[in-house]
Chains A and B, each alone.
Chain A
Amino acid sequence: MRVVEKMRAMRSDRNLWLAALLVLVIALAVALPTAGCGEEEETTTTAAQSSTTVAPETTTTAPQTTTTVAKSDLILASTTSTQDSGLFDVLIPAFSEAYPQYTVKVVAVGSGEALKLGETGDADVLLVHSPAAEEEFMANGYGVEREAVMYNDFIIVGPAEDPAKIKGMTDASDAFTAIAAAEALFFSRGDDSGTHNKEKAIWKEAGITPEGDWYQTTGQGMGETLTITDQKSGNTLADRGTYLSKKDTLSLEILVEGDKALFNQYHVITVAEATNPQGGTDFLNWIISAPAQELIGTFGIEEFGQPLFVPNAGQAE
């Protein structure tokens, strides 16, 4: 009996060892390819946070035949709404083709954090849409160059029942006034993002300080905020791109659109404390060049039947 017990113990011991071995093998299998192939083509991880996503990299170079170019990382901090729209899936591969020497890492955060990453030198180039904050950023000497790239527009969305009766209004601040008067549920991003700043600007325009149980803050990205607004049948200010890309899962409708105040200008900014200043400058010059501008102007037509962004580099705003 004792022998049997001992054997059983040994067997469970062996199982434990096998499990440990398995974990080790998996760990090695994951770790080795990056260490082994020597090229700088590591799977891109970003330092900022877990939710940051990275645009897929094109690995167009033939493995052995081409001489490997020394690649350097280029960190582009941009906004979640740009990322969510899918624009980078088109832009980054095109840029990588033109400038194969850079491995572009996109950190998608709110404009507030994007600017902060520029301030601390954790990003090389920014693509953001928070004009007031950007100007302050430039004034403080954190940026080198700032150029207009494109614009898109915001829309006010809400449930079909439209409790605040704002459908069809052409003035954003009138619509916000009606929402506040009706105390219709409104979700604010509350994350210092470009969208949030735009929202604050409209409240200011309307002369209202939004407060009360109807005015709630998510602190999250546009996609998440749209989901919450939809689930709670509220209103929110969204960029058209994110709304269109999520439209199938939402029962929210566009209630107000077309007001000039809802236009949203994007700028590219090169960072003063950049680790890769040359890369930042190359990106800036590329994105305001004609080929990139054309890419931007046609993006979205195929999927949504309308472009999501209007390129306007070099034009008076």
Chain B
Amino acid sequence: MGVFWDSIKQAVELLFTGDAFVYEVMWMSLRVAGSATLLGMVVGIPIGTWLALKRFWGWGAAATVLNVGLMLPPVVVGLFVFLLLSRQGPLGPLGLLYSPTAMIIAEFFIAAPVIAAITMGGVASVPKDVRLQAMGLGASRRQSTWLVIREARVTLLAGIVAGFGAAISEVGAVMMVGGNISIGGHNLTGTMTTATMAKVRQGDYAMAMAFGLILLLLAFVITFLLTRTQQGIRRRWLQS
């Protein structure tokens, strides 16, 4: 019935028979993309909020840099991180190249701008009056900022998901700095995207398709949860 259906069938079998390698690679992907997204939140949300609420000399330049970050070609990120961590590079002595840490660093630079830029948009779209009123009612500066972030939480959530999506679907950069290395059938630095590429190269379409299906499923589950959450928030908003 052709290579397409065959590989899907075999992929489903691989998933249900609990092929150890598939799960190791999946776990590595989630771990790396998850860590990068978390770090991206820690850095991106404050920067985005700050840029949304403050106007200062050089604001335009800063906002432009952030938006360039949105279009940052991942391979370029990979190349920079690779040369930084290379043995001949400035951070070479740390010996981080071809480790999960190296991949987290690369994916951080991919996820953080996305989170920061969407945060900026979300926070900026909260009416100014909300903050002014809160401060008028005696809220401190910090409390009022927190309130504005809370108001923008639906957009923030979308930003975090977009950042995670960018990180987990990235191939070029993680291939360069991670190396897709395995030891005797056990995964060391392979992710679902790099393993998919490597498996296609070998003509092992079934295994490649298994990773493809997991990535699709993941996208579906996350989008579903996000949409549910957004609907929930909106409903509560209408009721109050």
Contacts and interface: CB of A to CB of B under 8 A. Distances in A.
B203 interface: yes
A191 B97 CA distance: 21
B29 interface: no
B34 interface: no
A187 B182 CA distance: 10
Interface string A125-144: 00000000000000000000
A109 interface: yes
Chain A interface size, under 10 / 10 to 19 / 20 to 34 / 35 or more: 20 to 34
Interface in A192-244: 192-193, 211-213, 215-221, 224, 228, 230-232
B211 interface: no
A232 B98 contact: yes
B202 A191 contact: yes
Interface string B17-39: 00000000000000000000000
A109 B201 contact: yes
Contacts of B190: 219
A90 B157 CA distance: 53
Contacts of B204: 112, 192
A20 B202 CA distance: 41
Contact of A219 (B3, B87, B180, B203): B180
Nearest to B89: A231
A215 B87 contact: no
Contact of B198 (A48, A191, A211, A216): A191
Contacts of B201: 49, 109-110, 112-113, 191, 193, 219-221
Most chain A CB inside 10 Å of its own CB: which residue of B179, B183, B194, B203: B203
B182 A231 contact: no
A307 interface: no
Interface in B172-187: 172, 175, 179-184
Interface in A162-213: 187, 190-193, 211-213
A51 interface: yes
Interface residues of B, number: 27
A216 B185 CA distance: 9
B118 to A, nearest CB: 16
B62 interface: no
Contact of A113 (B97, B98, B175, B203): B203
A120 B1 CA distance: 12
A289 to B, nearest CB: 30
Contacts of B134: none
Contacts of A48: 200
B197 A216 contact: no
Contacts of A120: 3
B11 interface: no
Contacts of B183: 212-213, 215-217
Nearest to B205: A116
Given A113-B200, A191-B198, A232-B98, A220 B3 contact: no
B86 interface: yes
Contacts of A230: 87
A231 B204 CA distance: 28
A232 B172 CA distance: 20
B179 A112 contact: no
A217 B200 contact: no
What 7 A-B pairs have minimum CB-CB distances, sorted nearest first? A116-B203, A219-B198, A192-B202, A113-B203, A112-B202, A112-B203, A211-B184
Interface of A: 48-51, 109-110, 112-113, 115-117, 120, 187, 190-193, 211-213, 215-221, 224, 228, 230-232
16 contacts: A48-B200, A50-B171, A110-B202, A113-B203, A117-B203, A187-B181, A190-B182, A190-B198, A193-B202, A216-B188, A219-B182, A219-B199, A220-B180, A220-B198, A220-B201, A228-B98
